[in-house]
Amino acid sequence: MPRVRILPAIRFTSYDHAEGDVVELSGEIAATWCNAGLAELVREDEPETPDQAADAKPETTAARSRGGRPRKSS
């Protein structure tokens, strides 16, 4: 079941959700609420940060060539 964050407060006879609540809904209801602007999907996993990357390689810059730029002819 998808998890969604409620955007505006929603109150019905069977449930009451405040703005910002994260709830699990059936796929059909979640899609309907998201398309209507009542909710937004919540990612299940945390976004990867540089500290979490296990095989991250250090960033390198290009080395300057030994020849440099060609000289302009006069």
Confirm whether pTM is higher than 0.75: no
pLDDT, tens digit (0-9, with 9 covering 90-100), for 17-29: 999 999 999 999 9
Confidence band (pLDDT; 50, 70, 90) for 15?
confident
Tell me how far CA of residue 10 lies from CA of 7, 29, 45, 50, in angstroms: 9, 13, 26, 38
Helix (H) / strand (E) containing 29: helix 27-35
Going from N- to C-terminal start, the domains of the chain cover 3-41
Mean pLDDT of the chain, nearest integer: 80
Percent above pLDDT 70 for the chain:
64
